[in-house]
């Protein structure tokens, strides 16, 4: 499967568009509906290598014509066969019967092959479109934007449930359309040869019925859309309880959870009931149409037969033509109910595809009011003003800082002041504001978020996340676990290839240690830790930072704990309302735990709103840090031994 991601610069690829993404919500058979139908279908049919799909489609259309020709032939023979029966022409009768039987058999064979080819085309389209949607979902972190903004709800349901019926409907459409048209044309021309009056009446009837069906089924699109939406919310609310089962159980929050779920259930049922009541009117209308259809040929042909102007065979032919026409047209007419069952899917898929279009078209690096992103060796923030995505809160104003290799920074401040937001900026998730950010390539960075994340998979996959497991021996992985004070984890869980629900089984502190193990395995140049050691005790924290320091990883940490100052050379303290303060806090000799620096003991080196260029300060401190890191790197071998001792000490 090829990558479907569109071309874009490396810098902008990492940045999530700051603009709110809105999509039109039209639920009628209008221009938007048909545009969406076209835009959802087009990528499959214009993709590279689509020739096979076109050949399958042409084959299907060819069989449609063959099927209809056989049908017309049968109708033609019906007249002769019936007359032969009436005239007691035995040999003609048996001959015609044999031909009709063969033709009927051929029609069955054709329709079976048609169904098989149709299914293959449908399933291939489904797989291709599913992968296409998924690649767009992950492209430029669209999944993040769509989820955080709630641009389109229940994206999972849209991509899982709606794609298959859409492909089925669209792959059968050309066949049904052409087959019906050919059948209808043949049967109508036959009817024209029998009775002009009957022909015009039937044609008018068909046109009126078609128009009425479109009109009757128009509201069904919205009804179905709302039912599916409500069912999606119902399912999501149950899934929410499953995901947070332990939290809900500890709170004893069953009642409020049940009320929320019941509210969604009732809403879904109410909407289904409304749809069912409306379906009653549709059934009545359909029944009326069918009755008229049955009576119609007799009304026109029987009087002429009684006046001896028509043979009995002609009446039979008229009835057969009407029946076959009804059969063909009912396929066509059924297409409207089928379409109405799938039209809300077109709307739901169209909405998400349009959100992807908007996100892929936006270029956040070149807009005013957006922080400019560049790529470089080090981390550099130049004159940054950062606000929350909606612009409600100013996080920092005119912030400049430079993080060079070996230059550990800690970002501190009271809760809710914007520490994690600053990391979101560095990760390219937020970019509303001004100034410029220079970041290393994403392959050289790793972000450990405030909420630890455990992949549903094996312990080995956990450790390598977000990369695929590579060739490390179990002994190497075991020594890695020892460095993060999880020496007994693999043995306790049944080895590195054991799968379990890690986020439920492991304690918060253990999950945080797994995250540090990932960093030690991946060895990024820059590691961002958002309260990544907040759940472990001080001794373990010291040991973890010791391991990171020994690996030569530069850390940018976020946290409240003063103990963190021991492992960093610089502190950026956020003071609220955009104000901030930078200060030099110590040697950052990671893992020593000796350089405990009290906050009051350190003088600020840069403050807002007229900050000293923090880069200058950082550059000056860089020399000290460089020495510290070299020293730490030189003692990397002994660091591991001492880390294990510290783990043991922490455990005791």
Ligand X SMILES: Nc1ncnc2c1ncn2[C@@H]1O[C@H](COP(=O)(O)OP(=O)(O)OP(=O)(O)O)[C@@H](O)[C@H]1O
Give residues in contact with ligand X (CB under 6 A): 388-390, 392-393, 415-421, 450
Rounded to the nearest whole angstrom, what is the least distance from the CB of residue 388 to ligand X in the complex? 4
Residues paired with 445 in a beta bridge:
526
557 binds Mg ion (CB under 5 A): no
Within 8 A by CB and 6+ apart from 374, the residues are: 11, 436, 437, 438, 439
> Quick one: DSSP state of residue 16?
P
C-alpha dist (Å) from residue 142 to 15, 42, 182, 187, 454: 10, 21, 45, 52, 21
| Bond before 466 cis per omega within 30 degrees | yes
Residue 444 CB neighbour total at 10 angstroms: 13
CA distance 350 to 12: 25
**Using CB under 5 A as the criterion, what x/- string covers residues 361-400 for binding Mg ion?**
----------------------------------------
Rounded to the nearest whole angstrom, what is the least distance from the CB of residue 598 to ligand X in the complex? 21
Among ligand X, Mg ion, none, the one that 313 touches (CB under a kind-dependent 5 to 8 A) is none
Rounded to the nearest whole angstrom, what is the least distance from the CB of residue 141 to ligand X in the complex? 14
Instruction: Please give the residues from 445 up to 474 whose contact with Mg ion meets the rule CB under 5 A.
Output: 450
> Quick one: DSSP state of residue 286?
H
Rounded to the nearest whole angstrom, what is the least distance from the CB of residue 511 to ligand X in the complex? 17
Instruction: Note whether 599 and 580 are within 8 A (CB).
Output: no
Rounded to the nearest whole angstrom, what is the least distance from the CB of residue 415 to ligand X in the complex? 4
- The residue among 338 and 420 lying less far from ligand X, judged by its C-beta, is 420
DSSP E strands, 344-461: 372-375, 379-387, 394-403, 409-412, 433-439, 445-448, 457-458
Residues paired with 373 in a beta bridge:
437
- The residue among 163 and 429 lying less far from Mg ion, judged by its C-beta, is 429
3 state SS of 419: helix
Rounded to the nearest whole angstrom, what is the least distance from the CB of residue 559 to Mg ion in the complex? 9
Among ligand X, Mg ion, none, the one that 126 touches (CB under a kind-dependent 5 to 8 A) is none
- The residue among 209 and 419 lying less far from Mg ion, judged by its C-beta, is 419
Rounded to the nearest whole angstrom, what is the least distance from the CB of residue 430 to ligand X in the complex? 8
Count, residues near Mg ion per rule CB under 5 A:
2
CA distance 16 to 161: 27
- The residue among 450 and 503 lying less far from ligand X, judged by its C-beta, is 450
**Contact pick of 420, 511, 533, 554 for Mg ion (by CB under 5 A):** 420
CA distance 113 to 563: 73
Stretch that binds Mg ion, among 118-126, 275-283, 291-299, 412-420 (CB under 5 A): 412-420
CA distance 219 to 212: 13
CA distance 347 to 344: 5
- The residue among 105 and 416 lying less far from Mg ion, judged by its C-beta, is 416
C-alpha dist (Å) from residue 293 to 126, 203, 316, 321, 487: 38, 12, 15, 12, 80
Query: For residue 530, how many C-alpha atoms fall within 13 Å in the half-sphere facing its CB?
Result: 19
- The residue among 20 and 416 lying less far from ligand X, judged by its C-beta, is 416
CA distance 601 to 175: 81
- The residue among 167 and 423 lying less far from ligand X, judged by its C-beta, is 423
Rounded to the nearest whole angstrom, what is the least distance from the CB of residue 416 to ligand X in the complex? 4
Tokens of 618: 């950082």
Among Mg ion, ligand X, none, the one that 340 touches (CB under a kind-dependent 5 to 8 A) is none
Rounded to the nearest whole angstrom, what is the least distance from the CB of residue 151 to ligand X in the complex? 13
Rounded to the nearest whole angstrom, what is the least distance from the CB of residue 393 to ligand X in the complex? 5
- The residue among 211 and 390 lying less far from ligand X, judged by its C-beta, is 390
Among Mg ion, ligand X, none, the one that 164 touches (CB under a kind-dependent 5 to 8 A) is none
- The residue among 396 and 553 lying less far from ligand X, judged by its C-beta, is 396
The residue number whose beta carbon is nearest to Mg ion equals 420
- The residue among 350 and 413 lying less far from ligand X, judged by its C-beta, is 413
Euclidean distance between the first and the last CA atom of the chain, given in angstroms as a whole number = 53
Rounded to the nearest whole angstrom, what is the least distance from the CB of residue 530 to ligand X in the complex? 7
Apex 209 CA angle, 207 and 212, nearest 5: 110
- The residue among 136 and 419 lying less far from ligand X, judged by its C-beta, is 419
The owner of tokens 């059968």 is 172
Among ligand X, Mg ion, none, the one that 68 touches (CB under a kind-dependent 5 to 8 A) is none
Rounded to the nearest whole angstrom, what is the least distance from the CB of residue 578 to ligand X in the complex? 12
Stretch that binds Mg ion, among 16-24, 80-88, 366-374, 442-450 (CB under 5 A): 442-450
- The residue among 522 and 577 lying less far from ligand X, judged by its C-beta, is 577
Among Mg ion, ligand X, none, the one that 388 touches (CB under a kind-dependent 5 to 8 A) is ligand X
- The residue among 106 and 535 lying less far from Mg ion, judged by its C-beta, is 535
Q: Treating both helix axes as pointing N-terminal to C-terminal, what angle do 254-306 and 196-243 enclose, rounded to 10 degrees?
A: 170
Phi, psi of 223 (to 5 degrees): -60, -45
Rounded to the nearest whole angstrom, what is the least distance from the CB of residue 150 to ligand X in the complex? 11
Among Mg ion, ligand X, none, the one that 343 touches (CB under a kind-dependent 5 to 8 A) is none
Residues paired with 370 in a beta bridge:
432
- The residue among 220 and 422 lying less far from ligand X, judged by its C-beta, is 422
Among ligand X, Mg ion, none, the one that 52 touches (CB under a kind-dependent 5 to 8 A) is none
- Nearest Cα neighbor of 177 from 40, 56, 333, 39 is 333
Among Mg ion, ligand X, none, the one that 418 touches (CB under a kind-dependent 5 to 8 A) is ligand X
Phi, psi of 529 (to 5 degrees): -115, 110
Among Mg ion, ligand X, none, the one that 389 touches (CB under a kind-dependent 5 to 8 A) is ligand X
CA distance 6 to 639: 46
Among Mg ion, ligand X, none, the one that 416 touches (CB under a kind-dependent 5 to 8 A) is ligand X
Rounded to the nearest whole angstrom, what is the least distance from the CB of residue 450 to Mg ion in the complex? 5
H or E segment to which residue 527 belongs: strand 526-530
Among ligand X, Mg ion, none, the one that 267 touches (CB under a kind-dependent 5 to 8 A) is none
Phi, psi of 154 (to 5 degrees): 45, 50
Instruction: Please give the residues from 194 up to 213 whose contact with Mg ion meets the rule CB under 5 A.
Output: none
The owner of tokens 């026109």 is 300
Tokens of 79: 């007249």
Rounded to the nearest whole angstrom, what is the least distance from the CB of residue 420 to ligand X in the complex? 3
Tokens of 160: 């899982």
- The residue among 80 and 531 lying less far from Mg ion, judged by its C-beta, is 531
C-alpha dist (Å) from residue 437 to 144, 202, 380, 399, 426: 21, 71, 6, 10, 7
Among Mg ion, ligand X, none, the one that 553 touches (CB under a kind-dependent 5 to 8 A) is none
Residues that bind Mg ion (CB under 5 A): 420, 450
């Amino acid at each position: 499967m090829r990558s479907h991601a569109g071309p874009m610069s490396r810098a902008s690829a990492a940045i999530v568009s700051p603009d709110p993404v809105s999509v039109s919500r039209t639920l009628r058979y209008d221009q938007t509906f048909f545009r969406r139908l076209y835009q959802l279908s087009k990528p499959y049919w214009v993709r590279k290598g689509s020739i096979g799909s076109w050949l399958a489609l042409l084959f299907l259309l060819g069989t449609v014509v063959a099927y209809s020709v056989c049908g017309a032939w049968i109708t033609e023979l019906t007249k002769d066969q019936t007359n032969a029966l009436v005239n007691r022409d035995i040999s003609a009768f048996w001959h015609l019967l044999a031909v009709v039987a063969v033709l009927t058999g051929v029609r069955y064979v054709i329709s079976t092959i048609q169904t098989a080819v149709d299914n293959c085309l449908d399933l291939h389209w489904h797989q291709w479109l599913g992968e296409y949607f998924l690649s767009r979902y992950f492209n430029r972190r669209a999944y993040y934007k769509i989820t955080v903004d709630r641009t389109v709800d229940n994206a999972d349901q849209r991509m899982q449930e709606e794609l298959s019926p859409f492909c089925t409907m669209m792959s059968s459409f050309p066949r049904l359309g052409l087959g019906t048209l050919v059948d209808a044309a043949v049967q109508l021309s036959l009817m024209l040869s029998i009775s002009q009056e009957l022909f015009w009446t039937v044609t008018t009837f068909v046109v009126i019925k078609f128009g009425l069906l479109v009109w009757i089924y128009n509201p069904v699109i919205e009804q179905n859309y709302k039912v599916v939406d409500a069912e999606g919310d119902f399912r999501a609310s149950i899934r929410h309880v499953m995901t947070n089962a332990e939290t809900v159980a500890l709170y004893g929050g069953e009642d409020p959870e049940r009320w929320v779920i019941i509210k969604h259930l009732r809403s879904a049922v109410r909407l289904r009931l409304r749809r069912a009541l409306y379906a009653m009117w549709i059934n009545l209308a359909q029944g009326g149409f069918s009755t008229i259809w049955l009576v119609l040929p007799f009304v026109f042909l029987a009087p002429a037969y009684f006046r001896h102007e028509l043979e009995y065979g002609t009446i039979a032919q008229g009835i057969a033509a009407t029946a076959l026409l009804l059969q063909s047209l009912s396929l066509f007419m059924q297409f409207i109910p089928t379409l109405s069952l799938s039209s809300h899917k077109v709307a739901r898929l169209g909405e998400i595809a349009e959100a992807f279009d908007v996100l892929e078209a936006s270029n956040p690096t070149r807009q005013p009011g957006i922080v400019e992103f560049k790529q470089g060796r080090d981390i550099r923030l130049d004159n940054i003003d950062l606000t929350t995505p909606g612009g409600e809160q100013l996080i920092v104003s005119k912030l400049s800082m430079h993080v060079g290799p070996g230059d550990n920074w800690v970002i501190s401040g009271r809760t809710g002041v914007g520490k994690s937001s600053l990391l979101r900026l560095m990760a390219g998730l937020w970019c509303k504001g001004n100034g410029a950010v220079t970041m290393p390539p994403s392959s050289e960075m790793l972000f450990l978020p405030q909420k630890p994340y455990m992949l549903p998979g094996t312990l080995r996959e956990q450790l390598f996340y977000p990369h695929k497991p590579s060739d490390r021996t179990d002994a190497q992985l075991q020594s890695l676990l020892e460095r993060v004070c999880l020496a007994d984890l693999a043995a306790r869980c049944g080895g590195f290839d054991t799968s379990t629900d890690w986020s439920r089984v492991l304690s918060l502190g253990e999950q945080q240690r797994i995250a540090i193990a990932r960093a030690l395995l991946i060895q990024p140049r820059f590691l961002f830790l958002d309260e990544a050691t907040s759940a472990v005790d001080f001794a373990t924290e010291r040991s973890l930072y010791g391991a990171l320091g020994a690996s030569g990883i530069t850390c940018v940490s976020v946290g409240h704990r003063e103990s963190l100052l021991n492992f960093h050379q610089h502190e950026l303290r956020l003071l609220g309302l955009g104000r901030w303060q930078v200060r030099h806090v110590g040697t950052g000799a990671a893992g020593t735990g000796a350089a405990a620096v009290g906050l009051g003991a350190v003088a600020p080196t840069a403050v807002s709103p007229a900050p000293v260029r923090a880069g200058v300060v950082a550059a000056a401190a860089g020399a000290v840090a460089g020495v510290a890191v070299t020293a730490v790197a030189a003692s990397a071998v002994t660091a591991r031994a001492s880390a294990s001792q510290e783990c043991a000490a922490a455990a005791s």
